[in-house]
Chain A
Amino acid sequence: MNINLTLIGQAIAFAIFVWFCVKFVWPPITAAMEARQKKIADGLSAADRASLDLELAQEKASKELHKAKQEAAVLIDQANKRAAQIVEASKDDARKEGDKLIEQARAEIQQERVQARDALRKEVAVLAIAGAEKILETSVDAKAHSEMLDKLAAEL
């Protein structure tokens, strides 16, 4: 346990070790550790930001969905209305057409009746004349008696 030059040797060794550590050991390792800490911090903040973004996106998506649903409902409503209108309109058209056709048919019937009556009337006149001729055994001057005949025809 003698105190001797070992003391100084030890102090010198210590100084050299400290110098080496300050120069070559401490800086690279702390730099790496700090870089990693920064990386981790960045990663964490990025993750935070991403989750915030996700939340916003989800909110936006649900809003859009809601809006789309509303729009779709409006469209369906409109389409339904339109369809009802169309059906109504076509019903109307059909009714009108039908009425028109009925009207036409009636007019034709009327016309044919008038024609038939006219023809009948003429025939009755001829028959009447023929009958009268037979009765009188003479010919009747159709022209002379036309007035009378017309009256007769009108009575028929």
Chain B
Amino acid sequence: MAADTPVEYIQHHLQNLTYGKLPAGYERVDPYTSDVTVLQEAGWTFARTSAEATDMGFMAFHVDTLGWSIFMGILFLTIFRLVARKATSGVPSGMQNMVEMVFEFVQTIVRDGFHGRNPVIAPLALTMFVWIFLMNSLKLIPVDFIPQIAHAMGLEYFKIVPTTDPNGTFGISIGVFLLIIFYSIKVKGLGGFGKELSFTPFNHWALIPFNLVLEIIGLLTKPLSLALRLFGNMYAGEVVFILIAILPFWVQWTLNVPWAIFHILVITLQAFIFTTLSVVYLSQAHEDH
């Protein structure tokens, strides 16, 4: 889609590269020529317009979100694995030093937030923190760089920051949510977990339905708030970057640079908040009343 007006430019930048299934009989409108073709049978394809992406419904992938998040995850694991293989208890090299700083940071988060005994929590927190940090930091790449390259390669849409896609943040928070459920049941047993949901905050049998509603809402709020907080912050920041990019090129740096510097803080802070809250939620899941 040609980005002629600022609104179109912004919308274009906020659309993910979607690969999904279009139903048979779907009318595809060519974005450049406005020609209409009717699909004879259902099939998987790249969406050429935002409308198509929406019409694909749930049976679709955001190729850019998945690709960049997996790339960042592999980058993280590769670097850390290389350091882990050469880890020495002697004087650490520069890279190991950096990795150990991150480790100590995460260990502090876990020590402060988690009061149970579980060897999985700390590496989980490390993965979350570094992965989200890396995904967020993609935001510091100027908004048009990589989409332009993708465009030259024939891809209509390309949004590189996975955390500005709610799918990206909800994917992680749902993982955390499943772990909360898993550890709640594992530590307290199915009955214990059910009892906790039924008899808190009001310990009276008559208030069981009320408690259940309250507790289940509370439980569901956890992944929702995790995902939406991260997504909201990143998305808003991205929109501001895109707005700045609409300005004449010679004035952009006056807003761009301060905003980017500010985002060094936001990127780290959001990764930190997501990790800390996840650790606290998991700690609550381990507490037996």
Q: Are A15 and B175 in contact (CB under 8 A)?
A: yes
- Within 116-171 of B, Cβ neighbours of A (below 8 Å) are at 119-120, 122-124, 126-127, 131, 162, 165-168, 170-171
User: Quick one: given A10-B171, A11-B172, A14-B172, are A21 and B58 in contact (CB under 8 Å)?
Assistant: no
**Does any Cβ of B come within 8 Å of A144's Cβ?**
no
Residue-wise interface mask of B (16-37) relative to A, using a CB-CB cutoff of 8 A (1 in contact, 0 not): 1010100000000000000000
Q: Are B126 and A13 in contact (CB under 8 A)?
A: no
Residue-wise interface mask of A (13-47) relative to B, using a CB-CB cutoff of 8 A (1 in contact, 0 not): 11101101110111111111101100100000000
Q: Are A32 and B127 in contact (CB under 8 A)?
A: no
Residue of A nearest to B235 (CB): A1
CA A1 to CA B88, docked complex, whole Å: 45
**Does any Cβ of B come within 8 Å of A136's Cβ?**
no
Q: Are A6 and B65 in contact (CB under 8 A)?
A: yes
**Does any Cβ of B come within 8 Å of A135's Cβ?**
no
Query: How many residues on the B side are at the interface (Cβ–Cβ under 8 A)?
Result: 54
Residue of B nearest to A28 (CB): B84
Residues of A contacting B56 with CB < 8 Å? 2, 4
A27 to chain B, nearest CB (A): 8
CA A14 to CA B167, docked complex, whole Å: 12
CA A21 to CA B16, docked complex, whole Å: 29
Residue of B nearest to A14 (CB): B175
A11 to chain B, nearest CB (A): 4
Q: Are B77 and A20 in contact (CB under 8 A)?
A: yes
CA A15 to CA B128, docked complex, whole Å: 10
Q: Are B61 and A32 in contact (CB under 8 A)?
A: no
Residue of B nearest to A40 (CB): B89
User: Quick one: given A10-B171, A17-B76, A20-B77, are A29 and B69 in contact (CB under 8 Å)?
Assistant: no
Q: Contact partner of A6 among B62, B77, B85, CB < 8 A?
A: B62
Query: How many residues on the A side are at the interface (Cβ–Cβ under 8 A)?
Result: 32
CA A14 to CA B54, docked complex, whole Å: 25
Q: Contact partner of B81 among A14, A25, A35, CB < 8 A?
A: A25
**Does any Cβ of A come within 8 Å of B10's Cβ?**
no
Q: Contact partner of A3 among B20, B58, B99, CB < 8 A?
A: B58
User: Quick one: given A29-B83, A29-B103, are A5 and B60 in contact (CB under 8 Å)?
Assistant: yes
A35 to chain B, nearest CB (A): 3
Residues of A contacting B59 with CB < 8 Å? 4-5
**Does any Cβ of A come within 8 Å of B57's Cβ?**
yes
CA A1 to CA B171, docked complex, whole Å: 14
Q: Contact partner of B80 among A5, A7, A25, CB < 8 A?
A: A25
B249 to chain A, nearest CB (A): 28
Q: Are A10 and B61 in contact (CB under 8 A)?
A: no
Task: Give B residues with C-beta under 8 Å from A.
Answer: 14, 16, 18, 20, 53-54, 56-62, 65-66, 69-70, 73, 76-77, 80-81, 83-85, 87-90, 92, 96, 99-100, 103-104, 119-120, 122-124, 126-127, 131, 162, 165-168, 170-172, 174-175, 178
A selection of 29 A-B contacts at a CB cut-off of 8 Å is: A1-B166, A2-B18, A3-B170, A4-B18, A4-B20, A4-B59, A4-B60, A5-B59, A5-B61, A6-B61, A6-B65, A6-B165, A7-B174, A8-B171, A10-B66, A10-B69, A10-B162, A11-B171, A11-B178, A13-B66, A14-B175, A24-B81, A25-B80, A25-B81, A25-B126, A29-B84, A29-B103, A30-B122, A36-B92
Contacts A14-B172, A29-B96 known; list 6 others, CB within 8 Å: A3-B58, A6-B167, A14-B171, A20-B77, A28-B84, A36-B89
